[in-house]
Structure 1
Amino acid sequence: MFNDIVDQLVDTLVIGMTYFIFDATVKRVNPKFTNVNKEHELTLNNNTKIEEADVHLNVEKSRYQFIKINELKWDIDKSNKLLDIIGILVEVQNVFSITTTKGVKTNKREIKIIDKESAPVMLTLWDNYAINEGSKLMDIIGENPVIAFSSIKQIDYQGGSLGTTAFTTIDINPMITEVDELKKWFTLKNGSKKILLKASNEDKYKKVERIEMKDLMDKEYKTILNQYYYFEGNIVNLENEKLWYNACKTCKKKVQLKGDHATCDKCQNDDTEYTQKYFGKFKIKDSTEIITVTIFEELETLIGCSAIEYAISSEKYKQKLDVCLSKNYYFYFKMDSKNEGSRKSRSIVIDTMKERNAQKRSIIDVEDDEDKKGKKIKIEKD
């Protein structure tokens, strides 16, 4: 459809309704347009007539060719291919305005979805999608609806994410079998976002591949969305003295403080709300190599307090951080497009970490204590 025809029909066509269409042309999609995932297209002209039908055709199933989130592969040569994705909505951020590198001002809103076999993946709603559909999703986030997206694209952002396009449609709880399956799974997981996120975070490390730090720097690795690796090493040095920064609550980028106000350049807000976020660079070594790793919010697990608490009482918690130096850890990371580029400068961003010799305590026996009218619990270290 051309612009003048679109203007005539914009208030006529409604998603989900059935219409009779007269005097239009049906033809095969030009194979040169690789971002179109349909075989045929319908071309309307000035003589085309559209009438609403009395019957309703259920074409929901045929509209989608879903791909599972954990099967997404980041391939720069196929980044223009449009995809259909379905998942449970688990997070909706506030909308904010940005100016693109081309100088165009647009709206942006980030959401997260999850399915039965994946960790949460970020999907960015752009322009009017951020305002219109994004507002609807914000209103119903408490219901954790199932959302079907058609014609979205992969984005080389934060290790691989998704984003809307001019062709995207967003359906909330459409009448298809995939929705029923996801809702059933959600119910079995007690409908808890916290449980879902914890389970998915555990699942994403089940298929990790161990590598040596030297191989990490020298070998080629496929950049696959949600593909994780890990290596073992010792923390030998802290590179930056200040472990936190003031972050915009909307976009999480660093803000500039000017008196009582905080300015966020990305959001173009001269009085934005902000909080403290962790940011640490460490030298790590094993028997083969020394590299630099960047750790963000996972530092809370390492230090034992939030970035806000650390900013207030840094000297108090720095002692615990010093104890971590020279300890041995497993470092987990995603070989995404961002890490693929930074590793060439002997640097990597860590997703999570675990102490190698961390001891767990297990309850191995429970018996009644008649004297104190309670129970004796015997605990041993693994």
Structure 2
Amino acid sequence: MIALATASSGIAAGLLSGGRTAHGRFKIPLDLSTHVVCSISKQSALAELCRVAKLIVWDEAPMMDARAIEALDKMLRDIIDTNMLFGGKIVLLGGDFRQILPIVEKGKKDDVLAFGKTYLISNATVKPTRPDFQNAFGKIQWTITGKTRRELIDEDNSEKLKCKYNFIPFHKLEAFMDANIDIDIIGIILDIKSKRFIRTRKGKECFVQDLVLINERFQTVFLTMWDSFVDKECIYIHSRITKRPIIIGKHVRVSSYHGLSINSKANSCFTFDGPFDEYYSLNTWASENEEKLSEIVTAQLYATLSPSKASVPHDDKITSIKDIQGLLPVQSFFWIKGTATVTRNREPFWYMACQNCNRQSNGDYGETYFCLFCKSPQARAIPRARASMKLQDQTGTLHASIIGSPVEIFLACSANQLMECVDNLDKVRMSIDTDQVFYLKAAPKNTETSTYTYEIILMMENNVNHMEPVYTHTTMEEIQHHDIDKIASTVYENPMEKEILGDSSNNTSIVQVKRELTNASGKQSTKKRANEPNLSTDTADKAYEYDETPLHSDCVSF
């Protein structure tokens, strides 16, 4: 008796004596999207072998497309000249259907379970999570398999089950910054930025899009949406942005970008309504303050309304400079308290960068070009501030780099102004004698040595009763009493801007003030300085040192 042993995959076929794949044995085409026919002639030796065979064994049959099995049926009927199933041959189909999950072609997780819906779920598996996945998914995982039964509940005729959230207020987000802890947030979507193509330090390429969230205390924070959330949630948000939608996020992370920002993760969930008090309260507040919110969006006062006005960590979380070396490489982020002085060197306090990804650009100021890093065909070259600083406390000193808006905050001067006054830096603040609180990131300089480079991410004033960011001059009373114009004149309190503003009264609209500042600082020559030095690779790569985190354009209002 002749028996033909086949299998759906090469690995399974190798376990059978004389086994071959079904595609190879029966000449089944790989493309099953069109009319499927086995390429076997009636006069061939293979056709004769199929006619004399008494048994055909097909292992792992559930893995195969049904059209391939149907093609075998048609081929056997044709070469044997009969209408009997499989030409009257005995065909043994083997495999474990429990190993094959139900597949929705090009489907997403929403095709299986929709967030916010109510289901009756039975026969699912609960087991401990692997240790290397516990940070992302918790210690216990609940797995839905092919055996799991899912039944959607008609919510109109049943009591709706409420999702449980533990919302973190904006002023408490700093406690979770770079802590690898998932949190829940709720906020009003104030504005949505254009989506950007980025490349992370690990080489991952994807689209990201920034949302600006605001709460009832007029504090704002950036929420960066990644990958599939850009194609779905962000499109929905863009269509409803004028209606001030409220977003509810679950399983999101807090990072130190923009001083502080929130990022979506692969397992994050977002919805735009909710049957609980926080949602109704925010919805009512947004309607009552629509005029103020519109002015904030028009003036783009995102930086001045930062949630970083909250208190910084307690003294027990402050690390002395002497102790930092002993905590590396286990710990990468540190709060330190001390004085700061700018280190003068031959490099200017700015470099030309891509407006989208902040990487060094060889383009002239304002020039549009194709960026090799973020792949933007319409990237624009703009100045970006940078400096080297010496930090000092009672235990020692430390040298760190500082790039972007923190430099402008410390020097009390914009990157455009720094580019204009290369030879006249008398009015630029070079040091702060009082103790400040700094948030640092340490990164290995290279893999061969144990030396580290440090970057200042955030800088805050050290007051006796309260700690506030150096760049925050806006008070809650001004916001609540609608003194938006007053905010414009207090965003930066430095001599250069006072000269620009002159004796402008508080009745001047913030849009006019911003236009005056922009025009005054934008009178640069469109040609790049001939003596502009090349930015060192270490400094140029600072903005890309964070794994899986997008690069934001700094939000400094002028």
User: The TM-score by the shorter chain falls in which range?
Assistant: 0.5 to 0.7
Of residues 90, 103, 112 in structure 2, which corresponds to 1:5? 103
Shift of 1:5: 3.4
Question: Aligned letter for 2:185?
Answer: I
In structure 1, what is the equivalent of residue 49 of structure 2?
Answer: none
Of residues 307, 323, 326 in structure 2, which corresponds to 1:200? 307
Gaps of 5+ in 1: 359-382
From the superposition, tell whether residues 39 and 281 of structure 1 become closer, same or farther in structure 2 (CA, over 3 Å). closer
Gaps of 5+ in 2: 1-98, 464-469, 471-558
In structure 2, what is the equivalent of residue 31 of structure 1?
Answer: 128
Shift of 1:275: 2.2
In structure 2, what is the equivalent of residue 312 of structure 1?
Answer: 420
Q: Which has the higher strand share?
A: 1
Q: Indicate the RMSD between aligned Cα atoms, in angstroms.
A: 4.9
Of residues 241, 248, 269 in structure 2, which corresponds to 1:169? 269
In structure 2, what is the equivalent of residue 230 of structure 1?
Answer: 337
Of residues 45, 56, 73 in structure 1, which corresponds to 2:176? 73
From the superposition, tell whether residues 325 and 99 of structure 1 become closer, same or farther in structure 2 (CA, over 3 Å). closer
Question: Aligned letter for 1:64?
Answer: Y
Contact 1:98 1:107 in 2 (8 A): yes
Take 2:435 and 2:226, find their aligned partners in 1: how far apart are those partners? 37
Q: What TM-score do you get using the length of structure 2 for normalisation?
A: 0.48
- For this pair of structures, how many residues does the alignment match? 345
Task: Decide which moves more: 201-210 or 128-137.
Answer: 201-210
In structure 2, what is the equivalent of residue 268 of structure 1?
Answer: 375
Shift of 1:243: 1.0
Question: Equivalent residue of 1:136, what SS?
Answer: helix
In structure 1, what is the equivalent of residue 95 of structure 2?
Answer: none
From the superposition, tell whether residues 82 and 30 of structure 1 become closer, same or farther in structure 2 (CA, over 3 Å). farther
Please tell me whether Structure 1 or Structure 2 has the larger radius of gyration of its CA atoms: 2
Of residues 432, 437, 456 in structure 2, which corresponds to 1:332? 437
1:248-327 to 2 correspondences below 5 Å? 248-257=354-363, 260-285=367-392, 288-295=395-402, 296-316=404-424, 318-321=425-428, 324-325=429-430
Shift of 1:236: 6.0
Contact 2:319 2:335 in 1 (8 A): no
Take 1:180 and 1:38, find their aligned partners in 2: how far apart are those partners? 33
Take 2:210 and 2:103, find their aligned partners in 1: how far apart are those partners? 32
Shift of 1:348: 4.4
Shift of 1:92: 3.3
Contact 2:320 2:336 in 1 (8 A): no
Take 2:164 and 2:377, find their aligned partners in 1: how far apart are those partners? 44
Q: What TM-score do you get using the length of structure 1 for normalisation?
A: 0.66
Take 2:253 and 2:393, find their aligned partners in 1: how far apart are those partners? 39
Shift of 1:272: 0.9
Take 1:347 and 1:144, find their aligned partners in 2: how far apart are those partners? 39
Of residues 145, 152, 157 in structure 1, which corresponds to 2:252? 152
Take 2:391 and 2:315, find their aligned partners in 1: how far apart are those partners? 20
1:349-360 to 2 correspondences below 5 Å? 349=456, 351-352=458-459
Take 1:311 and 1:36, find their aligned partners in 2: how far apart are those partners? 47
In structure 2, what is the equivalent of residue 43 of structure 1?
Answer: 144
Shift of 1:36: 4.0
1:264-317 CA distance string (max 9 Å, x none)? 33312244123222111123446653322433324434545421233234324x
Shift of 1:52: 7.1
Q: Which has the higher helix share?
A: 2
Question: Aligned letter for 1:73?
Answer: F
Shift of 1:333: 1.8
Of residues 148, 156, 159 in structure 2, which corresponds to 1:55? 156
Shift of 1:201: 3.2
From the superposition, tell whether residues 281 and 103 of structure 1 become closer, same or farther in structure 2 (CA, over 3 Å). closer
Contact 2:364 2:381 in 1 (8 A): no
1:216-269 CA distance string (max 9 Å, x none)? 6457599799x9553234x26324521112232323333342895434333122
From the superposition, tell whether residues 251 and 347 of structure 1 become closer, same or farther in structure 2 (CA, over 3 Å). closer
From the superposition, tell whether residues 61 and 339 of structure 1 become closer, same or farther in structure 2 (CA, over 3 Å). farther
In structure 1, what is the equivalent of residue 542 of structure 2?
Answer: none
Question: Aligned letter for 2:225?
Answer: L
Contact 2:196 2:208 in 1 (8 A): yes
Take 1:207 and 1:47, find their aligned partners in 2: how far apart are those partners? 48
Question: Equivalent residue of 1:315, what SS?
Answer: coil
Question: Aligned letter for 1:232?
Answer: T
Contact 1:236 1:325 in 2 (8 A): yes
Shift of 1:148: 0.9
Take 2:306 and 2:375, find their aligned partners in 1: how far apart are those partners? 37
Take 1:347 and 1:102, find their aligned partners in 2: how far apart are those partners? 20
Bigger RCO (CA 8 Å, 6+ sep): 1
From the superposition, tell whether residues 340 and 257 of structure 1 become closer, same or farther in structure 2 (CA, over 3 Å). closer
Take 1:149 and 1:294, find their aligned partners in 2: how far apart are those partners? 34
Question: Equivalent residue of 2:360, what SS?
Answer: coil
1:21-45 CA distance string (max 9 Å, x none)? 6xx6333532216444697857364
Contact 2:252 2:263 in 1 (8 A): yes
Take 1:105 and 1:36, find their aligned partners in 2: how far apart are those partners? 24
From the superposition, tell whether residues 244 and 65 of structure 1 become closer, same or farther in structure 2 (CA, over 3 Å). same
Contact 1:29 1:38 in 2 (8 A): no
From the superposition, tell whether residues 217 and 264 of structure 1 become closer, same or farther in structure 2 (CA, over 3 Å). same
Shift of 1:65: 4.3
From the superposition, tell whether residues 139 and 63 of structure 1 become closer, same or farther in structure 2 (CA, over 3 Å). same
Shift of 1:117: 8.6
Question: Aligned letter for 2:384?
Answer: K
Shift of 1:326: 5.8
In structure 1, what is the equivalent of residue 12 of structure 2?
Answer: none
Take 2:285 and 2:444, find their aligned partners in 1: how far apart are those partners? 37
Take 2:248 and 2:391, find their aligned partners in 1: how far apart are those partners? 42
Take 2:331 and 2:220, find their aligned partners in 1: how far apart are those partners? 18
From the superposition, tell whether residues 202 and 46 of structure 1 become closer, same or farther in structure 2 (CA, over 3 Å). closer
Take 1:119 and 1:341, find their aligned partners in 2: how far apart are those partners? 34
